[in-house]
Structure 1
């Protein structure tokens, strides 16, 4: 897949420690286009184009720069990367500026096709097929070249779609969770990007208003437009040509409009490119969620608040939610970003459905989540005795619930809250090992449970008397979690209908 930059924005500086994928792009340089470096194939095709245009032979030019014709041929075929000194000599001999040989664009449409075919035939996926390669030379008709390129790219597209299976998605989630754990779920460059944007609009502290988010968009050269006709497969759409970000009408969506806008801006500030695969798509989603939360709950201010709460032994997710006007889930997830870095407290986080299925989770405190053979936890069911599930049994679901649970990996104190959504009830759970509970409000709870999972006798194996009575006499129709089991939707951005998006942008561009 061709790797397109978002509005030409990228950064070639070395990645800062802990970043999930892309290096940081400061808000001061986020709108400055960057010139990519040419590769050996492009340089070779430009060199051949210039040489043939000057009606010079391989031997003639090679002799003039002191190299063999075979060595020059390797350079023109993109099989050898030339030194700058060699390119400088070649430019002098051919009487062209060096910049002409170093330009990133192929010199012609034919050359562009040749480059694409060469790259396709050099790819590992093609080599694994054991098929011969087609020599890309002047005798190969352009029509045949177009057909070969088309078939290679169609094959690559089909392979990509086949790779986007539930197993692929679960492995990508597992790998991402490992990187988050290794970094204690703290990513300093995203924190700095959020701080830079806040400073750029002169935010003095406290909750970030929608007006402040509008100013941030303007600071980056974009405007926010609320509309009621967003494509059904999208949450937001960014028009990079006209520098607009389209959002749902505030009353039409389930998400905080500030978060949606900041997530869209996050793609720009963090220099994201079109994702090459589902794993990169997933990393980008995590990064923009992190960025939005870091803007809404800035590290410096939140860190100070958390240290005060720790000193008072009164840490509470509810206080963070109320202080910054965010959802309980956002406050809980944001707490995990700073808990270990700022407070030196290991923690875990879960979001599960009412039937106990994990939708997202994070841990660096040693708790053992249920997992499949790939190490993935999404779609697994947590023990019925864990706080995250017991909370659904409480008479008042508007309050958080605290409990101590003895597990196979130790005793954990957890606080869970039930979140009502259009898709049903979910619980958001934050926990920590017993030795760290002294810092949290709710530690005085007398609620306690014990989990022996994965021992089937804990909660997955029915009692003997019920099995004796009903074994072989029950045939339930299972509710399938299709989002976890179905193949990943195809497309550059999984599940998004490109036609709908382009039609939407075309319609709004005409109206403006």
Structure 2
């Protein structure tokens, strides 16, 4: 029972009926002091008393027990009471302000606003990298439970692109523009986007600002536009925490992928290739005109739910750092004590790192790897970004490799990680020679110590965004 809301509802119905505490006391047999404690959420009434109170107030018991505040003022009073019972307020050592009917509404609104800001700053202060890793891990495990498949977003995305004119193959820029127009937005390209943003949406004037269109293609711009649109389609509110921010990022990425490779067309294409035992992420990428990373992640959305294939995906930097990963096939990614995988080092013998040594970077690299919990086959594509080399891998247990092109490869490695003897411990000969003679100066990874970026949207400079919108707003 929510005592604060219950108390405010009783007070609301009492004042609506024009009763004083003494009047209600006379009608119910409960002392005025006891009624005051109940209305202030400091005492729980007996079940029998609820019926008596409801009868005296001319309502039924369910009306008293509703979880909805009875009015805007009551909602503010409840919020103020809860805020003054929080540990954040308790640390301040300040006296409580009684949220009585005598408290002017503007004062009540100001106090609630100040408490909201205190709570926001308190939450921001604990948003350390560890907190971010915990939030990311919780989201990754949640997605594993649903096989990385979100049918509610699938069911929103495909009808929208079909209505905008999509039929088959790659989604065109024109269809994206029409989709935006149908939702009340115009897509504009500009070369002065704030440096801390990828896109900016002007909700007041129905504009989505993107980077300049590139030549040729500009395929990444379709995804950016769709992600901006997704916030509106999915009804996102401003994120209240870093966990909210991460979830929204996941959902807009999913929506964009579900538009770029609509479910019915993508599943039909994949089903044919599975029957032919010729599944390949590279072909899936080319069929829908998307980046290899996007194709790999979209494949994870559909493979289990529609093809019955369990799998894993990972993006690894050139130095072996795991940047992103997903699995529902039992593969064990390296993890820290919080369960987070981001920032961990992948075994040197995994395909995700062996592929960097391949001379043929244009084609996918195939490899079997015997791991402590079974044999896995992986298809890996390498690439280069501003930050350096990276690899994208999709892998499956040995039992599912029969559906994939590249299964005939003879490349095979054995990995016993996390056993340090696998690839983390230097050879004994080298350790004996250099163990006491080597003294390297290590790079300092500042992000390990830094707090998460500040702001409602982490890392975004609000002032820079507002000045940008002011420059571009229609006269």
TM-score by length of 1: 0.79
Corresponding residue for 2:226?
262
Corresponding residue for 1:176?
139
Corresponding residue for 2:153?
190
Decide whether aligned partners of structure 1 residues 458 and 159 sit closer, same or farther in structure 2, where only a CA change above 3 A counts: same
Q: CA deviation at 1:64?
A: 9.5
Corresponding residue for 2:65?
none
Q: 2:283 aligns with which of 300, 319, 322?
A: 319
The CA distance in 2 between the partners of 1:416 and 1:403, in whole Å, is 8
| 1:136 maps onto 2:99 in alignment | yes
**1:154-233 alignment to 2 at 5 Å?**
154-233=117-196
Is the contact between residue 44 and residue 78 of structure 1 (CA under 8 Å) also seen in structure 2?
A: no
Corresponding residue for 2:451?
487
| 1:390 maps onto 2:354 in alignment | yes
Q: CA deviation at 1:199?
A: 3.0
Q: 1:499 aligns with which of 459, 463, 475?
A: 463
The CA distance in 2 between the partners of 1:288 and 1:199, in whole Å, is 18
The CA distance in 2 between the partners of 1:88 and 1:210, in whole Å, is 64
Q: CA deviation at 1:75?
A: 8.0
Q: CA deviation at 1:285?
A: 0.5
The CA distance in 1 between the partners of 2:446 and 2:252, in whole Å, is 25
Q: 2:330 aligns with which of 328, 349, 366?
A: 366
Corresponding residue for 1:236?
199
- DSSP 3-state at the match of 2:179: helix
Is the contact between residue 184 and residue 340 of structure 1 (CA under 8 Å) also seen in structure 2?
A: yes
Decide whether aligned partners of structure 1 residues 322 and 120 sit closer, same or farther in structure 2, where only a CA change above 3 A counts: same
Q: CA deviation at 1:467?
A: 1.1
- DSSP 3-state at the match of 2:381: strand
Q: 2:242 aligns with which of 261, 273, 278?
A: 278
Is the contact between residue 47 and residue 76 of structure 1 (CA under 8 Å) also seen in structure 2?
A: no
RMSD: 3.7
The CA distance in 2 between the partners of 1:230 and 1:89, in whole Å, is 62
Corresponding residue for 2:64?
none
Q: 1:357 aligns with which of 309, 314, 321?
A: 321
Q: CA deviation at 1:136?
A: 3.5
Is the contact between residue 452 and residue 458 of structure 1 (CA under 8 Å) also seen in structure 2?
A: yes
The CA distance in 2 between the partners of 1:219 and 1:104, in whole Å, is 36
Q: CA deviation at 1:507?
A: 2.1
Structure number with greater CO (CA < 8 Å, separation at least 6) is: 1
Decide whether aligned partners of structure 1 residues 496 and 40 sit closer, same or farther in structure 2, where only a CA change above 3 A counts: farther
- DSSP 3-state at the match of 1:164: coil
Decide whether aligned partners of structure 1 residues 251 and 374 sit closer, same or farther in structure 2, where only a CA change above 3 A counts: same
Q: 2:420 aligns with which of 453, 456, 463?
A: 456
Corresponding residue for 2:63?
none
Q: CA deviation at 1:62?
A: 8.2
The CA distance in 1 between the partners of 2:104 and 2:153, in whole Å, is 50
Corresponding residue for 2:442?
478
Decide whether aligned partners of structure 1 residues 305 and 66 sit closer, same or farther in structure 2, where only a CA change above 3 A counts: farther
Moved more, 128-137 or 276-285: 128-137
Q: Deviations over 1:473-502 (max 9, x none)?
A: 222233344445532112211111111112
**1:385-424 alignment to 2 at 5 Å?**
385-424=349-388
Moved more, 150-159 or 206-215: 150-159
The CA distance in 2 between the partners of 1:267 and 1:243, in whole Å, is 13
The CA distance in 2 between the partners of 1:43 and 1:445, in whole Å, is 70
Is the contact between residue 351 and residue 429 of structure 1 (CA under 8 Å) also seen in structure 2?
A: yes
Decide whether aligned partners of structure 1 residues 415 and 58 sit closer, same or farther in structure 2, where only a CA change above 3 A counts: same
The CA distance in 2 between the partners of 1:311 and 1:484, in whole Å, is 47
Is the contact between residue 207 and residue 325 of structure 1 (CA under 8 Å) also seen in structure 2?
A: yes
Q: CA deviation at 1:205?
A: 2.2
Is the contact between residue 378 and residue 484 of structure 1 (CA under 8 Å) also seen in structure 2?
A: no
**1:96-115 alignment to 2 at 5 Å?**
105-106=72-73
Q: CA deviation at 1:255?
A: 7.3
Q: CA deviation at 1:157?
A: 3.0
Decide whether aligned partners of structure 1 residues 325 and 144 sit closer, same or farther in structure 2, where only a CA change above 3 A counts: closer
Is the contact between residue 14 and residue 20 of structure 2 (CA under 8 Å) also seen in structure 1?
A: no
Structure 1: stretches of 5+ with no match in the other structure: 1-38, 93-100
Q: CA deviation at 1:227?
A: 1.2
The CA distance in 2 between the partners of 1:281 and 1:240, in whole Å, is 19
Is the contact between residue 453 and residue 459 of structure 1 (CA under 8 Å) also seen in structure 2?
A: yes
Decide whether aligned partners of structure 1 residues 105 and 148 sit closer, same or farther in structure 2, where only a CA change above 3 A counts: closer
The CA distance in 2 between the partners of 1:137 and 1:106, in whole Å, is 10
Decide whether aligned partners of structure 1 residues 320 and 249 sit closer, same or farther in structure 2, where only a CA change above 3 A counts: same
Q: CA deviation at 1:147?
A: 8.7
Is the contact between residue 45 and residue 106 of structure 1 (CA under 8 Å) also seen in structure 2?
A: no
Q: CA deviation at 1:183?
A: 0.4
